[in-house]
């Protein structure tokens, strides 16, 4: 069974490359302390105070 995937030069390849570039530019100055699981802490911290 061959691995499915877009052919070389396809719009899909271009989309992935564009996304990777955008993420890399935006993430370049992330601090060492930033990790994905911080996301849920942000939500908990942002909740209204009772």
Partner 1 sequence: MTDLTLVELASAIATRKVSAVDATQACLDRIARLDGRLHAFITLDADGALARARALDADLARGVSHGPLHGVPVAYKDLFHVVGLPTSCGTKTAEYFRSDRDSTAVARLQAAGAVTLGKLNMTELALGPFGDNPHHGNVDNPWKAGYVSGGSSSGSGSAVAARLAFGALGSDTGGSIRLPAACCGIVGLKPTYGRVSRAGAMALSWALDHLGPMTRTVRDCALMFELIAGHDPRDATSSRRPAPAVRAGLEGPLNGLRLALPENYYFDGVTAQVKSAVESAARTLESRGARVLPLRLPDPAGIVDVCNVLARAESAVIHSRVLRERPHELGAAVRARLEIGLHVSAHDYLQAGRLRARLAREFVDEVFGEVDAILAPAIPEPAPQLAAVTAGAVEEIVRRMGRFSRLTRPFNGLGLPVLALPCGLSADGLPLGLQIVGRPFDETTIFRLGLAVEQALPRRAPRD
What DSSP string describes 16-30? HHHHHHHHHHHHTT-
Kindly state whether residue 3 participates in binding partner 1, applying the rule CB under 8 A: yes
Residue 9 binds to partner 1 (criterion: CB under 8 A): no
Q: Which backbone phi and psi does 31 adopt, to 5 degrees? A: -75, 160
Phi, psi of 49 (to 5 degrees): -80, 135
Does 26 contact partner 1 by CB under 8 A?
A: yes
- Decide if residue 47 touches partner 1 (CB under 8 A): yes
Q: Is 4 in the site for partner 1 (CB under 8 A)?
A: yes
Nearest distance from C-beta of residue 2 to partner 1, angstroms: 9
């Amino acid at each position: 069974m061959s691995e499915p995937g877009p052919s070389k030069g396809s719009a899909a390849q271009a989309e992935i490359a564009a996304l990777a570039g955008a993420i890399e530019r935006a993430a370049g100055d992330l601090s060492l302390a930033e990790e994905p699981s911080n996301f849920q802490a942000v939500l908990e911290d942002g909740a209204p105070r009772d």
